[in-house]
Amino acid sequence: MTDLGLRPLVPTLHQLAESAVYDDRNNRLLYCDIPDKAIHAVDLATGETQVWRFPTVVGSFGLTESGRFVVALRDSVVIFDPETGDSRTLAEIEADMPDTRLNDGKVGPDGCFWVGSMDANRQPVCALYRVAPDGTVEKKVDGLMVSNGLAFSPDGRTMFHSDSRGPWIDRWSLDPATGEISDRKRIAVLDDTIGRPDGGATDAEGCYWSAGVSGAKLNRFSPEGELLASYDVPAAAPTMPAFGGPDMKTLFLTSLRDGRTEEQLQRWPLTGSVFIGTSPVAGSPVSRFRDV
């Protein structure tokens, strides 16, 4: 089995690093620390770091065509300018539900921000939403406990989506012109050993990479749900993979430290790190939010 060569990108051990996003224009990795209410950036050439802080937890974010960020806060989606610090609310989501917050999100090939919610009590009351550049919000999937794992195929016509507490991975057909989804198919039902599905990404071959948050694994599935590879990673709870670099073969992986047992932290002392390594296959680029 190929060694991914994962090693810490920065020395910080985060409580909950998530939403790894590669910025191809600036050759940097961005990611959030959810409870720290922050988005971090690491320049991959110089190692220089930046951090931006927000008024609430940051569930996820994406890049925009204008160079800004589209950010999922607790119950709103905002457009944030990293140069000026200016922020404007684009949409409010589940603001009337005190036990939920926005979670995993990703910009789709339709130029919209897809983001789901999660419930603190693990009840199936959450949903997946599509937020358009004009602020229009559409509920796309409901009955979720922890919406997660969003990723889109290289041709933009397939969407992968998971529920970490399902714990399952679904595949949908997507019309990138309209944002309509159809032909839902459950391609995998997982367990704690192989790893409940957390964040996801796709590669150039159309395969789906899922962070096995409960299993210290990074799992690669075919589009039909066949487990093609299961990589051991140096963190008890990996949370999201992402691809980047000039050839898209640089692999990034965020992880979670909060709530891990002392035994887990002794076995995987780097838990909470943001890792960098090398993928055996190129990744699929992620779209930008069409705010211009």
Decide if 198 is catalytic.
yes
Block residue for tokens 């992880």: 255
Token pair, residue 235, equals 């963190």
C-alpha 189/C-alpha 196 separation (Å) is: 9
In the 8-state DSSP scheme, what is residue 95? T
DSSP string, 98-147: TTEEEEEEEE-TTS-EEEEEEETT--S-EEEEEE-TTS-EEEEEEEESBE
| 115: β partners | 105, 129
| 30 in Cβ contact with 39 (< 8 Å) | yes
| 230 in Cβ contact with 216 (< 8 Å) | no
C-alpha 250/C-alpha 247 separation (Å) is: 8
Task: Residue 41: name the closest of 15, 4, 73, 12 by CA.
Answer: 12
Please pick, among 198, 247, 258, 291, the residue that the annotation labels catalytic: 198
Sign of the Cα torsion 59, 64, 69, 70 reads: negative
Q: CB neighbours (10 Å) of residue 156?
A: 16
C-alpha 8/C-alpha 51 separation (Å) is: 18
Sign of the Cα torsion 183, 133, 164, 141 reads: negative
Q: Which residues are catalytic?
A: 198
